Chains A and B, each alone.
Chain A
C-alpha cells in the first residue's frame, strides 16, 4: 500500500504569486495513495526540509512528490533529505511548478489548474518508482586539458600542483595560445610574454604535466571518471626527443616564403620553423605544405645541418590512447574572419589591420622589431583610426550578436601605448559604447582619454577607402556632435569580434557537451556552475565558454582545475542508477539494443531457461553493464518486445505520466 506525501513549495512569491499553492496541496491530497499534502513557504530551506523529513518518518511514507522549482535545481536536495531519514532517494519526484508553470503563466486559475495536473503526473509516476541503489565506478587519476593557451596552462599547473598527472593537448607546435601573441596586457601594461613564458616553462618542467603539442583529440569514449581518449600526434617530421631547438635548421632552410602565422601573416617564416623564441616545447616542426623535401623529395638541407639527427621525413601521424578521470576544455578563441566587411577595406588595403595584427606590429618580436610601421610602406603612421565592434553586437548574419568584451579595453591599451611611444600620432577611436567594468578598468580608459588625449568619438565608421596617395579615407559619423567626419588616416585598426575556435564544435560532439548557438560551450548553470559542462567530468576553462580577458580566464582556469581536482581525489564515484535493464524472459537476443547503444554497455549471454514443459532451452539474451550504461534509453525503444526498460523512466512510469496529464 503506497503512502505518498505531497509537498507544495511557495518559493516565496515565485510560485505562490501565480499558483494557488493551497489549492494545489488540497487537490493533490485527494489523489490515490496520498496520505499527506502540505504547502510551505520555502520547501528547500532547512525547516522546509525538516517538514518533509518529519512527514516521511511520521507517516512512514513510501514516496514523496515535491511541487517546486525545476528538478535540475533541487531534486538532489530532496533526494538527500529523503535518504537522511531512510527513504530511498529515488522515491522522490519533483513537479516543476515554477520554471514550467508559475513563471510563465499569468492567470492564477489556469496556472493553478496546470500545477495540479503536473502534480498529478508526478504522483502517478511516484506510484511506480522503485528504490534504486547507485553503484560505484573507479576514477582514473589523470586529467586531460584540451588547449594549451593561458587557460589550459593554468588549469594544468593547478591540477599538477594537487599532485595529479595531467596531459595538455595543443594543436599548434607550441603552447602559449593567443596570450603569446599579445604585446602588453591591460590595465597594468605589463608585458604579456614576461608573465606567460615562465608559466609555459613551468608547465613543461612539471613532472606531472605531459605536453602533447601539435596534437589533436580524435576520439572520446566513456564517462566521468573513466574517459578513454585517442590523441593524434600529428607528424612534425622532427623527433621531439632529439631536437634541441638550436634553430640552425630554420636558418638554413631555403624555403623562406611561408606566411608566419604567429605574426598573423605579416612576415614570413621558413618551411621548418619554431613559432617563436620562447616556444614550448622548443622543437622544430616541418610544414609539409611548403617543405620541398616532403613535396618533391628535393632538398634535405635541414637533415644535413641537424647535428643530432632529429629530422625524420618519414614520420607519420601517431595515435595514443589514454584513460582520464576528468577533461578540461580550453580551446579558446579567434578573431572572426573579416572577408565580409568590404566597407572596412580589410582585404583591399594592407594598412587596415585587426587588433591582433596590431599587437604583432607593436611587439618587439614582431615583424618590425617593435617599431610601429605601416605594413604597406614601412612608414610611421601619424593618424590612426580604431574601429570598435567590428562584428560584435551585430544583428545581421555577418557578425556576432554578443559583445566580445575585451575590445574596449585592448583598444584603450593600444591607443595609450601608441600615444606614449609616438606622441606625434593622433589616435581616433570610434565606438558604440565604451564598456569598462572591471577592477581598474574605467580608470585605465579615462587615462587614455584624459592623460593621453585619445580622441574617443561615439559613432560608427561608415566606409574606409584606401586612396592612391597611400592615405586611407575614413568616413564616420560623430553621433554626439551630429556631424559627418572625414579622416585621412595612415592606419586603421579593426576590433574584430572574437569567436570560439573552429575545433570546438566537433570536440563538443565527441565530448557530448552542449554548445550555444554561437558555439561557445554551455556551462551547467549560468550562475552557480559556471566552469562545469552539463556532462559530468567535463569542465570549461577560458574563452571557450564565452569572451573573457586574461584575469577572468585565469580565474576560470583555476576554478575548472579545482573542480577537476575535486573529482580526481575521489577513488570512486557514485554511478547513476537510472540505467537500462533487460527482462531476460522477454528478450529475443536480436541485438537491436546493442546497435543503438552509444556506450557499448550491452553484451549477450547464452542463458538456460526452464520451459513450461519442464525442458530447458538455451537462449541468447541481452545483459546491460550498469557501470557503463548512462541511461539514455535508446535501447528501450529499439527493443520490439519491451524487454529493455529504463530505471527511473520506465515505460509504465512515462505511460502513467501521459495518462495523468491527459486525464
Chain B
C-alpha cells in the first residue's frame, strides 16, 4: 500500500495536479508516526510512511495547508474523511485546494498495548494471519493482532469514505459499531460510581492540551482556555474543578461537530478515555434529536445549531437517569 501511495503521489506531483503531499513520516520510534508535508518525489521516497501505526488524522493540518498556494494531496482514511468534511462545512478548509485520495482505514495498532505486554524496543511489526510479529531490538515477539488494536479502531463506526477525489482500494460500508457500550455502562452506574470513575480518570490530566491540539474540531484561532479575556483561561489543572471545566467545555464546544475520530484518547499520554465524553454527547444527540453523524455531509445543520419545536425538555435528564 505504502508503495502504491508513493507512486500515485509522485505522479500527481509530476503532472502538476498538486504541489505538495500531506502524509506521514517516522518519528523517533517505529510506532511514532507523525503527519508531515512532502514537497518532492525524493522526500516521498525517503520518508513517506504508511503502516499499521499510521493512525494520525491529517484533516486538521489542512486548515493551514489548504490556504496556501497551490493544491495539496491528502491521503485520508475513512474516519479522516468525516473530519475533513466537517471542516469543509465550517469553512475551515478550502475544499478546492485539496486533492483527496481515500485510502483504506485501520485497524491501526496501539504501541502502548504492545508495550503493556512487556514488549519493548519495537523496531517494526508485521501482521501475519492476525498474529502480530513484532521485531524488537531483543528479537522477534508475537501477540494476537486484535489485542494490539487501538481502542478507536476496535469500535470503528465506518469504513466508508464520505469525500474523496479518487479511491485506492475497495470502498467499505458504515458499520454497526458497539461504540456506545462503555457510555451505556457508565450511564447505568450510580451517580457516585460515575463521579468516582471520572474523578479517577480526570485527576490524571496534566493539561498537556494534546487532546485539544490533535482534535480536528478544535481549530479555533484562539482557544477560550488561552484567552485571558474569556474569564476561564487556565493553563494547568490546578484542581479538580478545572479538570472538569476544561473537559466539559471542550466536549461541549465540539458537541454536534465531533465526528468521533477518537484522536483525543489516542494521543492522551495519561490514557484518559476522553472520547467517552464526546460519545456521550453523540449518544444523547442521537437519542434525543435523531441520528446525526457529524462530517457525513457538508450541508446539514449541527444539532446544537438547530431545534425542533417539539424537542424534549431539559427535565428528560432527570426522568431517564439512574437512581
Contacts and interface: CB of A to CB of B under 8 A. Distances in A.
Interface of A: 585-592, 595-596, 604, 617-620, 638, 640-643, 651-652, 655
B224 A642 contact: yes
Contacts of A591: 90-91
Contact of B67 (A588, A617, A638): A617
A606 B55 CA distance: 34
A641 B91 contact: no
A637 B14 CA distance: 47
B305 A586 contact: no
A617 B94 CA distance: 14
Nearest to B64: A617
A57 B90 CA distance: 50
Nearest to B304: A638
Which of B220, B221, B223 has its CB near the most chain A CB atoms (within 10 A)?
Answer: B221
A103 to B, nearest CB: 29
Nearest to B254: A640
A595 B92 CA distance: 16
Contacts of B223: 641
A642 B91 contact: no
B229 interface: yes
A618 B69 CA distance: 12
B273 to A, nearest CB: 22
Nearest to B305: A595
B231 A586 contact: no
A655 B221 contact: no
Given A588-B92, A591-B91, A620-B91, A641 B221 contact: yes
B301 A595 contact: yes
Contacts of B305: 592, 595-596, 638
The 9 closest A-B pairs by CB, nearest first: A595-B305, A641-B220, A590-B90, A640-B253, A655-B231, A642-B224, A586-B222, A642-B230, A589-B91
A587 B221 contact: yes
Interface in B219-251: 219-224, 227, 229-231
B67 A652 contact: no
A652 B221 contact: no
Contacts of A590: 90-92
18 contacts: A585-B222, A586-B222, A588-B90, A588-B219, A588-B221, A589-B91, A591-B90, A591-B91, A595-B302, A638-B304, A640-B220, A640-B253, A641-B220, A641-B221, A641-B227, A642-B229, A642-B230, A652-B231
A494 to B, nearest CB: 35
B59 to A, nearest CB: 15
Which of B224, B301, B306 has its CB near the most chain A CB atoms (within 10 A)?
Answer: B224
A651 B301 contact: no
Interface of B is mostly: loop
Interface in B63-101: 67, 90-92
Contacts of A638: 304-305
B70 to A, nearest CB: 15
Interface of B: 67, 90-92, 219-224, 227, 229-231, 253-254, 301-302, 304-306
Nearest to B218: A640
Nearest to A655: B231
A589 B91 CA distance: 7
Given A586-B227, A588-B221, A595-B305, 19 more contacts: A588-B90, A588-B92, A588-B219, A590-B92, A592-B302, A592-B305, A595-B306, A604-B91, A638-B304, A638-B305, A640-B224, A640-B253, A640-B254, A641-B221, A641-B222, A641-B224, A642-B230, A651-B230, A655-B231
A620 B230 CA distance: 22
A497 to B, nearest CB: 28
Which of B92, B219, B220, B306 has its CB near the most chain A CB atoms (within 10 A)?
Answer: B220
A310 B90 CA distance: 54
A584 to B, nearest CB: 9
A592 B220 CA distance: 12
Nearest to A617: B67
Contact of A651 (B220, B231, B254): B231
Nearest to A589: B91
Contacts of A617: 67
B120 to A, nearest CB: 40
Nearest to B252: A640
A613 to B, nearest CB: 12
Contact of A642 (B67, B90, B227, B306): B227
Which of B227, B230, B231 has its CB near the most chain A CB atoms (within 10 A)?
Answer: B231
A640 B222 CA distance: 10
A591 B92 CA distance: 10
A644 to B, nearest CB: 12
A311 to B, nearest CB: 40
Contacts of B306: 595
Contacts of B67: 617-618
Contacts of B302: 592, 595
A218 B208 CA distance: 54
Nearest to B307: A596
B215 to A, nearest CB: 11
Which of A590, A604, A638 has its CB near the most chain B CB atoms (within 10 A)?
Answer: A590
Contacts of A595: 301-302, 305-306
A642 B221 CA distance: 10
A643 B230 CA distance: 9
A595 B221 CA distance: 20
A638 B305 CA distance: 7
A618 to B, nearest CB: 8
Given A595-B306, A617-B67, A652-B229, A586 B221 contact: yes
Contacts of B221: 585-588, 619, 641, 643
A596 B92 CA distance: 19
Contacts of A586: 220-222, 227
Nearest to A652: B231
A130 to B, nearest CB: 13
Contacts of A618: 67
Nearest to A594: B305
Contacts of B90: 588-592
A638 B303 CA distance: 11
Contacts of B229: 642, 651-652
A595 B303 CA distance: 11
Contacts of A655: 231
Given A640-B253, A651-B230, A588 B220 contact: yes
Nearest to B222: A586
Contacts of A588: 90, 92, 219-221
A655 B253 CA distance: 18
A652 B230 CA distance: 7
Contacts of B227: 586, 641-642
A594 B217 CA distance: 18
A106 to B, nearest CB: 31
Nearest to A637: B304
Nearest to A509: B309
A652 B67 CA distance: 33
Contacts of A589: 90-92
A652 B224 CA distance: 12
A136 to B, nearest CB: 30
